[in-house]
Amino acid sequence: MSAPDFQLKGSTVTVVVLELHRYAPEEFSAQLEARIRQAPQLFEGSPVVISLESLDVDHPEVDFEALLTQCRALELRPIAFRALPPRFSAAAAATGLAVLPPGTARGRNIPSREAAPAAAEPEPAVELHTESSPQRPGSRPTRTITRPVRSGQQIYAEGGDLIVLAQVSEGAEVLADGNIHIYGALRGRALAGVHGDASARIFCQNMDAELISVAGHFLLSDALTESVHRKPAQVALQGDVLNVSAL
């Protein structure tokens, strides 16, 4: 009997969650484009789950085809809807996207770079945050990678730490439930404590990351200062602030 042509495996994938508070087509594109411009390297070509968990119960019908067209025009890649009210189920199913139940993974809102106003303003129509989905805590030992992690690759250490004895290239992504140690240049994305471990840390010999994260708290490349940029550094969460310091 010949070997099967494929295997089915579970996986942890970092996705952008677009959480709708309301949908006004004439305003949506402008608001979404403004948020993407703040971190284009994070959102361009990213898979997106569109969540309706925060949509008002009396919200009028949503034109899902128009919504998807607007997302794709801005280089996002919608892959699923989440927490759909029953009255929207048929229209959403007609798009061909998957329908997911309400989320349980811990997400982190990606804040605007603008200072918060003194007076309260109306809630924006869309929030973007990232999640590691699905949640699959485990108890595996430390995972060690001896070769460079190349662009487009994703390495995940479930239930423990990740050690990379080479560089992490631009466009590559390394994730761990615990700490991440990189004995080379970090030029891609590194996400430690992906299931909420706030004590997790990231260590690297050359900090040049596109994105770093601990327990859902993110910093992008433009937040790296001269004191740590392209130098040995560690990343740790202090309260709600992600701190990058020299080693």
Whole-number Å distance between alpha carbons of 197 and 50: 26
Assessment of whether the complete model's pTM goes beyond 0.85: no
Which domains occur in the chain, in start order? 13-133 (3.30.70.260), 143-246 (2.160.20.70)
Cα-Cα-Cα-Cα dihedral sign, residues 166, 190, 105, 49 = negative
Q: Is 119 helix (H, G, I), strand (E, B) or coil?
A: coil
Q: Tally helices (H) and strands (E) across the chain.
A: 4, 17
- For residue 109, pLDDT beyond 70: no
140-159: average pLDDT: 89
- For residue 218, pLDDT beyond 90: no
Residues 65-96: tens digit of each pLDDT: 999 999 999 999 999 998 888 888 899 989 99
Whole-number Å distance between alpha carbons of 230 and 228: 6
* Predicted local confidence at residue 19, as pLDDT: 85
The neighbour count for residue 59, using CB atoms within 10 Å, is 15
